[in-house]
Chains A and B, each alone.
Chain A
Amino acid sequence: MITLQSVDVTLGGRAVLQSISLEMDQSRIGIIGLNGSGKSTFARLLNGLQLPSSGSVSVDGLDTRKDGRKIRSRVGFVFQNPDNQIVYPTVREDLAFGLKNLGYAPAEIKTKIEDALVTYRIDHLADRLTHQLSGGEKQMVALIGVLVMRPEYVILDEPTTLLDLRNKNRLMGIIKSLSQRVVMVTHDLDLLADFDRVLCFHEGRLHADGSPSEVIAGYLKLCIS
């Protein structure tokens, strides 16, 4: 379970998030909000990329302030722009990066990569150069680069923003099939229909928290006000 207690985040003198207290144990949680509402900062709090200015964030009892490294091995994070997340020149090499960091032996890394390539049907991309992939393929590689590390939670920060409809559907297909708990920041409200819970942020505060239909209805009103 991810727990936030009285969390405030102040960046450059500006209060980006204020008084957030939450317990998150659902399988699929969506995060929505207008630009600058604090939703990306909220997502980054969940794996310790952003530390709270006050209050605390814990993942399965581990505090992000003290146990950042341990938490990041449990909580995978997929960024909006895959170009900034892919660090190796070829797909196979990039998938190996996270596993190497987790201390797996070379033979085990090889097996896990082959499994992932087949499971997610990207074996045809294995030896392709990452900078020559399409936007959809890059996002897929970025996601699989995280999944291959077998995290218990997967946080996705607007993963579909740069994707066309086909790639968006494919990515969502993978996300739906995951056994891990998923927290996804998105502007694509239709992707959240099956989610268990949606949080809406507005001006750094938690504006609404509930089922997708009720929170999205409130958000739409907020958008036209």
Chain B
Amino acid sequence: MISFYHPANSLLHRLAAGYKILGLLLLGTVLFQISDLRVVFATVIIVGILYFIAKIPLKLAVEQLKPALYLLLVLFAAQYLMNSLELAIFVVLRFAALIMAAGLVTLTTKVSEMVAAIETALSIFSRWVAVEKVSLAISLTIRFIPVIAAITVEVKEAQRVRGMERNIFAVAMPVVIRTLKMATDVAEALDARSFGADFSKK
């Protein structure tokens, strides 16, 4: 979600984010109600075709499964040892289909569209929930994960020079302090850009 949006002009890119998220939720629910291996296998194939329709390069499509590869292997081994080969294949394919579908939604949906869809869904609860703040919190989280990761790398390098890279506190403390300082600056920046100003429509 942080860096995987792949710009292209396809039907899936043009489809509203809300429908894609809803489709993903439905797929997740339906897949766990099905016990037929052929249906799950067909789902994997269909998701694969959707990648093709969305003009996603093969390398990028394969990358969606990479982070979950170990989990899938563990699942496969556990199911194979405790149950059967067929069940192991079934469970792994089911997860693979879901992960690939989720990856497809991410690759074809901009964060702003995703956030807008969540905002629309939450608007039902707008009497109780500050929708604007929730959606901003999601965006900020996505935006600042790589920033905090970069700070951690910087601090680690600085501590390595001092021979302290193995000291978890020597790394964690500066990261936490810098992150808190950054949070204050970001809050000011939000204020400076009129967040929550509640201006009437121009």
A residues apposed to B, CB below 8 Å:
44, 47, 49, 69, 72-73, 76-77, 79, 81, 83-90, 92-93, 96-98, 101-105, 108, 127, 129-132, 145-146, 149
Contact = CB atoms under 8 A, between A and B. Distances in A.
Interface residues of B, number: 33
Interface of B: 2-3, 5, 7, 110-112, 136, 139-140, 142-143, 146-147, 150, 182, 185-186, 188-202
Q: Name which of B186, B193, B195, B201 has the most chain A CB atoms within 10 A of its CB.
A: B193
10 contacts: A72-B191, A72-B193, A83-B147, A84-B182, A85-B192, A87-B186, A87-B189, A88-B111, A89-B139, A132-B3
Given A84-B182, A87-B143, A102-B199, A49 B112 contact: no
A146 B147 CA distance: 21
Contacts of B2: 89, 129
B202 A90 contact: no
Q: Secondary structure of the B side of the interface?
A: helix
Q: Name which of B2, B5, B136, B194 has the most chain A CB atoms within 10 A of its CB.
A: B194
Contacts of A79: 185, 188-189, 192
Nearest to A102: B199
Contacts of B143: 86-89, 130-131
Given A79-B188, A86-B143, A90-B112, 11 more contacts: A72-B191, A76-B192, A79-B185, A84-B182, A87-B190, A89-B142, A92-B112, A101-B197, A102-B197, A103-B202, A105-B201
Given A90-B112, A131-B143, A72 B197 contact: yes
Given A49-B188, A89-B139, A131 B147 contact: yes
Given A79-B189, A131-B150, A88 B112 contact: yes
Contacts of A96: 112
Rank and list the top 9 A-B pairs by shortest CB-CB distance, nearest first.
A84-B185, A93-B112, A131-B146, A101-B194, A103-B199, A77-B192, A85-B189, A98-B193, A69-B197
